[in-house]
Structure 1
Amino acid sequence: MYGLIGRMLAVEGKREALLSVMLDGNAPMPGCRSYVIARDPGSDNGIWITEVWDSREQHMASLQLPHVQATIAKARPLIAGFAERFETEPMGGIGV
């Protein structure tokens, strides 16, 4: 399996709008076992995204899906940057 944990920063005052775009854009993605979007309680602009995929290749392929491309296009003006990014090798767990 392949995992990603990333912290995204919203443009000042736009976190809720960014969360809305990202949550509205959620749809099934082949190979995705878990995709969680969460507020960062330690930051007014931070968002954590935690993903588990069957493989790195399936994650990369998902970026070409029409609904993912549409979500990226809507979210881009609301994103100030990416603070942290970690790749993991999930071994299992609930919902995985």
Structure 2
Amino acid sequence: MVFVNAGTLGTVAGRRDELVAHLTRRNDVLAELGCLAYEVGVEESEPDTVFVVELWTSAEAHQASLARAEVQESIAAARPLLSGEFGGFRFEVVGSPLRD
């Protein structure tokens, strides 16, 4: 069953685009760890917020990815760009009208 982690990342004022550039750098390790999609977005009415939607093969794959050195290094590099304000939700996908 697909696991979704969707959320918002608050950024330090004026540093949103730096965080977007960091989060959208090619990272093939994510796919190896079970990430099916990692989408990053912005909304002009919220200039210090980045929106992220992640689809994983399972909640366990997502959790396990957080222990990987490559992922920890990426999180550490992004930390100075973050304000500490986070929001979001997680859920298991139960169906879709786009597939059987």
User: By the TM > 0.5 criterion, same fold?
Assistant: yes
Any conservation in 2 of the 1:32–1:59 contact (CA below 8 Å)? Answer: yes
Identity of aligned residues (%): 30
2:44 is the alignment partner of 1:41: yes
Matched, 1:22 2:23: yes
**Structure 2 equivalent of residue 82 of structure 1:** 85
Give me the TM-score of the superposition, normalised by structure 1: 0.85
Q: Which of 35, 51, 72 lines up with 2:54 in the alignment?
A: 51
The one-letter amino acid paired with 2:22 is: V
Q: Distance in 2 between matches of 1:76 and 1:68?
A: 12
Asked whether 1:10 is paired with 2:11, we answer: yes
In the TM superposition, residue 92 of structure 1 has moved relative to its aligned partner by 4.3
TM-score normalised to structure 2 length: 0.82
Q: Counterpart of 1:3 in 2: which secondary structure?
A: strand
How many corresponding residue pairs?
A: 94
* Secondary structure at 2:24 match in 1: helix
- 5+ residue gaps, structure 1: none
Cα shift at 1:57: 0.6
Q: Flag structure 2 segments of 5+ consecutive residues without an equivalent.
A: none
